Amino acid sequence: MSSRAKRGDLIFNNRLLRFRLSGSSQWLNHILDSKYISVYKRILNTLFQWNTDQACEHILGLYDKKGFCIVDYLYFANVAGKKLFSRHQSNTPVEDFSEALLSDYKNINIHGIYALYQQAILDADVVLPDGIALQLFTYFAKKKRLKNLNGTDFCPYFLSYIKEYHPGRAMNIILYGTYPHLLKKTQDLLLKQGYTVVYAQDGYTNLDWNALELSLKGRWEAINLLLVARTTPEYPIQEIWALTNRENIHKYKLLVMNQWGTFDFWVGEQKRAPKLIRTIKLEWLRRLVSDPKRNMKKVLSTLALFRYIFSYLILKKE
């Protein structure tokens, strides 16, 4: 089959996908909001269930339809480590999180943080499954094989996908996150690859919305892609930031992708495992051996997979 024919099939299939999703959205939202549905089932129902190309088209379709879009990734270490399947209550005003920096998070009740993170995942426009542990849990729970759409691989694919399949669309990239020296390297890398980076700001300061607005002046018709890399292993800052800044994200017509440590991998601060290791699903072990201080807690949380399967799928915990 020719590439043009394949492309035609892809467009048709994704239009059908968007039709199915939009047609069932009212019913799905009613179900997800129901107090009778357990939290873990609501979380699983948010996960994107199709392949990489369909994810690209779905994200672009939502962005065009709504004028903005928030994309999160979910991996199992966060499910377990941040108790995402449990019910949380927060007495901390949501407004306190909109400009909260890392130093502020250290003084906020952890259950308030977990509650806002849970809401952020449930309210995100797209939640992409990240990692084999989440794939396994979802398979045992729903008998559904999800694709591993991790941020380190998906984001560069998404950028190249727009170049190849939407060459007529202008795209502006905004970078927000990580340390200043790594941010500069990330910006230089993207510029070298031929992308337009219109604004960059490190993740240890509050985003300057006025400066961002000036950088986007005259560019409102383009895809304005904001890549955020602010989260630490302890705190899901970027997801909560996107949730509590949703009004501005809509105002400035941003497509937000919360990228975790992607910038570190892009510029070589963190190393990817060789392709063979990634193919046999052992990259987590390589990361643990190469940087135990950074990855030990994440791996221990991931190993809770077996306890979660027993509790939620065998004992039917709600």
Q: Give me the pLDDT at residue 286, please.
A: 74
The pLDDT > 90 percentage for the chain reads: 59
- pTM (2 decimals)? 0.85
The single-letter code of the amino acid at 57 is: E
Q: Please give the backbone phi and psi of residue 127, each rounded to the nearest 5 degrees, phi first.
A: -120, 115
Q: Give me the pLDDT at residue 233, please.
A: 78
What whole-number distance in Å separates Cα of residue 142 and Cα of residue 182?
Answer: 40
Which residues, given as ranges, of the chain have pLDDT below 50? 2, 4-5, 8, 12, 15-16, 18-36
For the chain, the structural domain boundaries read 1-37, 38-314
Count of CB atoms situated within 10 Å of the CB of 116: 24
Q: Give me the pLDDT at residue 289, please.
A: 75
Tokens of 15: 């239009």
What whole-number distance in Å separates Cα of residue 225 and Cα of residue 5?
Answer: 29
Q: What angle do CA 175, 56, 201 make, to 5 degrees?
A: 5
3-class SS letters over the chain: CCHHHHHHHHHHHHHHHHHHHHHHHHHHHHHHHCCCCCHHHHHHHHECCCCHHHHHHHHHHHHHHHCCEEEEEEEHHHHHHCCCCCCCCCCCCHHHHCCCCHHHHCCCCHHHHHHHHHHHHHHCCEEEEECHHHHHHHHHHHCCCCCCCCHHHHHHHHHHHHHHHCCCCCEEEEEEECCHHHHHHHHHHHHHCCCEEEEEECCCCCCCHHHHHHHCCCCCCCEEEEEEECCCCCCCHHHHHHHHCHHHHHHCCEEEEECCCHHHHHCCCCCCCCHHHHHCCCHHHHHHHHCHHHHHHHHHHHCCHHHHHHHHHHCCCC
- What is the C-alpha R_g of the chain? 19
| Residues 141, 193 contacting (CB under 8 angstroms) | no
